[in-house]
């Protein structure tokens, strides 16, 4: 089914808003048009390319985090609404894999999720108290992991954060983290 240009552009805007990490190639496939058509549509709509969208989101996100430094977050923080939800992206590399199997080590996937859960909390000091995790399938080198975290419950200074990590449309990791904001720890925070 072929869409007219106005309808395709409307749907393109919605699709990118729903998932800003889609490449022009993925969008072209989804709309059954050429990559060049997608680029022209993005240009007409004033939507920057993937790299620029990601960079702009990351710059905004890092300035908001209180609980950890930008270099402590595993993966690239893309979007964050403190106390609500956050997104990070991790490009898997050769340094992250087991030599024989070429599978990404679980500690990198866990660290991405854990650091995202901590960064999500609006406090100076946040620590993980409990993690219930499940690796859904092995991750190969070169896969791009998109982790989405959401606070699903709060009681006092404790938060339950659900993190789901996907590669493309496929879930590869799921974790529930209980994290605690410790404002008075070591004299840090507002007291």
Say how many domains are in the chain. 2
Same domain, 83 and 152: yes
pLDDT of residue 73: 82
pLDDT of residue 8: 92
Same domain, 69 and 155: yes
Whether 53 maps to a domain, the answer reads no
Please identify which residue in the block is written with the tokens 């939507």. Answer: 47
Whether 129 maps to a domain, the answer reads yes
Cα(116)–Cα(126) distance, integer angstroms: 11
Same domain, 75 and 163: yes
The string of pLDDT tens digits covering residues 114-143 is 999 999 998 889 999 999 999 999 999 999
8 A C-beta contact, residue 127 and residue 139: no
User: Is the pLDDT score of 190 beyond 50?
Assistant: no
8 A C-beta contact, residue 127 and residue 157: no
Taking residue 175's Cβ as centre, other Cβ atoms within 10 Å add up to 22
Same domain, 83 and 176: yes
Token digits of residue 117: 């859960």
Whether 158 maps to a domain, the answer reads yes
Whether 120 maps to a domain, the answer reads yes
Most confidently predicted of 14-18, 103-107, 120-124: 103-107
8 A C-beta contact, residue 167 and residue 144: yes
Cα(157)–Cα(6) distance, integer angstroms: 48
pLDDT of residue 82: 87
Whether 54 maps to a domain, the answer reads no
Same domain, 40 and 69: no
> What are the helix (H) ranges across the chain?
5-18, 24-31, 35-45, 50-62, 106-119
- DSSP secondary-structure letter at 189? S
The string of pLDDT tens digits covering residues 46-80 is 887 877 776 666 666 555 666 666 678 888 888 88
Same domain, 21 and 80: no
Most confidently predicted of 15-24, 53-62, 106-115: 106-115
User: Is the pLDDT score of 90 beyond 90?
Assistant: yes
Same domain, 40 and 63: no
pLDDT of residue 61: 55
- Percent of the chain beyond pLDDT 90? 56
Nearest CA to 157 among 179, 177, 176, 181? 181
pLDDT of residue 21: 75
Q: Which domain holds residue 124?
A: 59-187
CATH of the domain at 11: 1.10.10.10
pLDDT of residue 175: 97
What distance, in Å, lies between the first and last C-alpha atoms of the chain? Answer: 60
In the chain, % helix, strand, coil (3-state, to 5) comes to 35, 30, 30
Most confidently predicted of 12-26, 141-155, 174-188: 141-155
Using a cut of 0.75, tell me whether the model's pTM lies above it: no
Same domain, 84 and 159: yes
pLDDT of residue 94: 95
């Amino acid at each position: 089914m072929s869409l007219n240009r106005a309808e395709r552009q409307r749907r393109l805007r919605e699709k990118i808003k729903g998932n800003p990490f889609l490449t022009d190639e993925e969008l072209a496939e989804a709309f059954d048009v050429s990559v060049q058509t997608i680029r022209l549509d993005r240009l007409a709509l004033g939507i920057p390319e993937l790299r620029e969208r990601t960079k702009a989101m990351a710059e905004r996100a890092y300035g908001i985090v209180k609980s950890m430094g930008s270099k402590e977050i595993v993966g690239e923080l893309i979007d964050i609404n403190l106390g609500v939800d956050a997104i990070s992206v991790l490009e898997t590399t050769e340094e992250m894999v087991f030599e024989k199997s070429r599978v990404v080590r679980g500690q990198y996937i866990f660290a991405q999720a854990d650091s995202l859960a901590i960064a999500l909390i609006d406090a100076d000091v946040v620590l993980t108290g409990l993690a219930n995790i499940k690796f859904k399938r092995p991750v190969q080198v070169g896969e791009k992991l998109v982790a989405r975290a959401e606070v699903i419950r709060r009681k006092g200074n404790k938060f339950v954060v659900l993190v789901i990590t996907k590669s493309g449309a496929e879930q590869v990791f799921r974790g529930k983290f209980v994290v605690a904001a410790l404002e008075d720890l070591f004299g840090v925070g507002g007291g």
